[in-house]
Structure 1
Amino acid sequence: MREWTILGAGALGCTFAALLKARQQPVSLLLSERHRGHFHPAFEFIGLNERRRLVSTHPRFAEQAAGIDCLLVMTKAYQVLPALTGLRGLPADTPILLLHNGMGVAEVVTRVFPHNPLLAGVTSHGALKEGPWQVRHTGKGETWLGPVNERGKDFAHLQPLLATALGHAEWSEDILSRQHRKLAINAVINPLTACHDIRNGQLHEPRFADVLAQLSEEVHGVMTRLGETDTLAQFRRRLNSVIELTATNYSSMHQDLAHGRPTEIDYITGYVLQHAGDLPVPVCRQLYHEVKKQGG
């Protein structure tokens, strides 16, 4: 592989670009039309050690899709399909790695790009956009990737390349389960913090004890219905651990709502509601409508 192309020049996409570049791996950023003509030649990256450095990447636009070797998709979930369908020249043998929040997108991408190797990933790295072309890495985490279709199984060699840059990356043949795990955590933390305008750690305040208990029970029930085997106690331990580890962070949904941007509620809580069947999920449903009402 000659170059990673990152679609989604947001906080996390730029953070991945900076980490890959630090390991001398070539990276291009696939930019939207609004960046044409006024793209900054470099962005400022603030590492976990507070060191600042300028990161230069190769800018690429949709009409240059024919030259993409490996496409790492890190846009918001609702942006994935519109962005990908604009890449009409994307070669059929170019692997597409989806690394966005939420679920429900891969099924559509599979239909639109039936010949491309398709992979999915989850990451717990944290990043924050502090200004135009200024990004802060706020937390190091795990990254998992795995195949969505048969052709995706031939690209396990991407894992060590990511591991070298990110500090951790592992391959999983059952990436769906990893996605379910992350979605379940997000379906509790994101809408609650967004609706109440709080940091993640504030969910451990006594006032949230009851809603946290009921919401985690609802989400766990749906995950069990989808075939996941964690007990409710195991899920709550993981949830509490994530809340503690990200206590000072604002969730992505909180940030989107606070800045008047669309949220990924349809691909997180919406996914839970879609797969609930006859399970009662009143808190999930209430939070979904509340986020939508606030503009999400």
Structure 2
Amino acid sequence: MTEWTIMGAGAVGCVLAGLLSRRGEPVSLLLSERHRGHLHPSLELITLSGQHELVHTRPLFAEQAAAVTTLLVTTKAYQVIGALSALRSLPAATPIILLHNGMGLLDEVLAHFPHNPVLAGVSSHGALKEGDWLVRHTGKGETWLGPANEAARACAGLVEPLARALGHAGWSEDILGLQHRKLAINAVINPLTASHDIRNGQLLEPRFAAVLEQLSEEVHRVMARLGQQESLARFRRRLRSVIELTATNYSSMHQDLHHGRRTEIDQITGYLLGRAGELPVPVCRQLYQDIRRRQGR
């Protein structure tokens, strides 16, 4: 049995820690420097049924990376490289599973860790941080892992304990395609809800119909350029389904902007803009500039 070390004690990381721990999986949290010298309390998880459960995890810091056997990276996208670079003693055999939002970091991770198995992943579990070490599981979702390098192919067995803990986990040889599918949804919902200070479900109000139509068309156009074969109509159906399923949720970008934190706009909308080429994407560009302006960078 491997110990799952989670880097990124935010909402998603803590929910995954709770779900793994509930199934008897050993879990440690790789904490940042700001947690050093503080008491590491039990994590409190509010389950989908509303129950409060205490989750016990082992605290680790960067200099203890030699003890990490499986690493789940759930930090903000812009924190990934810096956080991983601090793990100088991470064993070359330790799988690194990237479960952050956004894209565009993989080549740099592979350059830093050329010998480690590196897995890319996507997860649609909903999570909300309600306080210090208090997180709510707001929605059950799917989790997919796939190989980002050849060494990762030997790690397909990791999906089995994940599936038991999370309710679903699968292996995909087309993980890049799955990442693009998730990014496309995020590139519509996240910047729109953050810019207008609304919950996800409010995007279905008539006042957003026109911008939702144009933005979804722009995002789909870029995705098609990247090789996605999903039709525009099907993408819009999938987008509407996600909005409906998460109607009462605030997007992560909304929460970051609301609390004065840096957002992942560069790794979501910025990723699209960097790959749009000559395609016209005025709404994407306007939202990108708006979020960047609001976060002061």
What's the CA shift for 1:43?
Answer: 1.3
Counterparts of 1:194 and 1:19 in 2: how far apart (Å)?
28
Name the counterpart of 2:151: 151
Secondary structure at the aligned position of 1:266 is classed as: coil
- The size of the alignment, in residue pairs, is 296
What SS does the aligned partner of 1:157 have? Answer: helix
Deviations along 1:57-95, whole A, 9 cap, x unmatched? 010110100111010000000000000000000011111
Unaligned runs of at least 5 residues, structure 1: none
* Corresponding residue for residue 107 of structure 1: 107
User: In structure 2, what residue type is equivalent to 1:10?
Assistant: G
Task: Name 1:283's counterpart in structure 2.
Answer: 283
The aligned counterpart of 2:71 is: 71
The equivalent residue for 2:195 is 195
Q: Distance in 2 between matches of 1:2 and 1:164?
A: 14
Contact 2:187/2:219, CA 8 A, preserved across alignment:
yes
Identity over aligned pairs, percent: 71
| Number of the residue aligned with 2:95 | 95
Match of 2:45 in 1: 45
Separation (CA, whole Å) in 1 of partners of 2:39 and 2:208: 43
User: 1:212 offset after TM fit, Å?
Assistant: 0.4
Correspondences of 1:213-292 after superposition (within 5 Å): 213-292=213-292
SS in 2 for 1:238: helix
The amino acid of 2:199's aligned partner reads R
Find the counterpart in structure 2 of residue 127 from structure 1: 127
**Alpha-carbon shift at residue 41 of structure 1 (Å):** 2.7
1:2, 1:269 → 2: CA distance?
36
Q: Helix, strand or coil for the counterpart of 1:279?
A: coil
Match of 1:34 in 2: 34
Asked if the contact 1:40–1:133 (Cα under 8 Å) also holds between the matched residues in 2, the reply is no
Matches within 5 A, 1:130-141: 130-141=130-141
| 1:170-181 mapped onto 2 (5 Å cutoff) | 170-181=170-181
Contact 2:41 2:133 in 1 (8 A): no
**TM-score normalized with structure 2 length:** 0.98
Amino acid in the other structure paired with 1:72: L
- Offset at residue 37 of structure 1 (A): 1.6
Q: Deviations over 1:123-180 (max 9, x none)?
A: 1101111111111111111111111111111100001110000001111011000000
Aligned partners of 1:144 and 1:170 also within 8 Å: yes
Contact 1:93/1:117 (<8 A) preserved: yes
For residues 183-232 of structure 1, give each alpha carbon's deviation from its aligned partner in whole angstroms, at most 9, with x where no partner exists.
Answer: 00000000000000000000001110010000000000000000010000
Match of 1:205 in 2: 205
Distance 1:284 1:115 in 2: 37
Q: CA deviation at 1:53?
A: 1.3
**Secondary structure at the counterpart of residue 97 of structure 2:** strand
Q: Secondary structure at the match of 1:156?
A: helix
1:169 aligns with 2:205: no
Moved over 2 A (4+): none
Task: Write the distance in 1 (CA, Å) between the matches of 2:132 and 2:9.
Answer: 11
Distance in 2, Cα, partners of 1:226 & 1:39? 47
SS at match of 1:59: strand
